[in-house]
């Protein structure tokens, strides 16, 4: 599995911890920055991660900012992206099973590291259900991009 990850300064420290956690499990990680804790603008970090997912270079994307809000909104502006802002493991499971989310966002100033890592593990470890009703709803969601 290959994961693309990106963060602003608010998510920089958590990004490092997620990368070492994933690499310790043998997951390949594409680190799209930020590479230090200098103040940056979160909308700049969503596109490289989303592009990696949409091109198939990465299986999933992880985005982190202080709250996860700004970077998730930014990601969801990109056609083809279904980014879920996650704060619990149940939602992480549902985001994959029901919504087939391809990118997840975390708030580094909201979550403890332990919970954040469990959310990551749950998200990347859960497959889409492929139930007809969920496929239909996802198609309707994606059709909203054309309006
Ligand atoms: C940066 O200070 C902060 O606004 C950002 O990390 C994020 O929380 C925005 O949604």
* Nearest-CA residue for atom 9 of ligand 1: 70
Query: Ligand 1: does its nearest atom lie under 6 Å from the Cβ of 8?
Result: yes
Per-residue pLDDT band for 47 (boundaries 50, 70, 90) equals very high
The domain that contains 23 carries what CATH number?
Answer: 3.40.1400.10
Q: β-pairing, 60-65 with 28-31?
A: unpaired
Task: Report CA(42)–ligand 1 centroid distance (Å).
Answer: 7
**98 a catalytic residue:** yes
**50 a catalytic residue:** no
- Domain of residue 45, residue span: 2-146
Query: Ligand 1: does its nearest atom lie under 6 Å from the Cβ of 60?
Result: no
pTM over 0.95: yes
- Work out how many domains the chain is built from and give that number: 1
Per-residue pLDDT band for 15 (boundaries 50, 70, 90) equals very high
For the packed helices 89-97 and 113-124, what is the interaxial angle rounded to 10 degrees?
20
- At 85-128, the pLDDT tens digits run 999 999 999 999 999 999 999 999 999 999 999 999 999 999 99
């Amino acid at each position: 599995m290959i994961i693309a990850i990106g963060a602003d300064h608010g998510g920089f420290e958590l990004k490092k911890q997620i990368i070492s956690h994933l690499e310790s499990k043998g997951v390949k990680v594409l680190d799209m920055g930020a590479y230090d804790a200098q103040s940056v603008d979160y909308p700049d970090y969503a596109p490289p991660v989303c592009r990696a997912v949409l091109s198939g270079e990465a299986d999933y994307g992880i985005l982190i900012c202080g709250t996860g809000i700004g970077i998730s909104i930014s990601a969801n502006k990109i056609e083809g992206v279904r980014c879920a802002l996650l704060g619990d493991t149940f939602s992480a499971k549902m985001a994959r099973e029901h919504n087939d989310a391809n990118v997840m966002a975390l708030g580094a100033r909201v979550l403890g590291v332990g919970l954040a890592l469990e959310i990551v593990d749950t998200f990347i470890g859960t497959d889409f259900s492929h139930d007809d009703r969920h496929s239909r709803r996802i198609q309707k969601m994606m059709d909203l991009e054309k309006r």
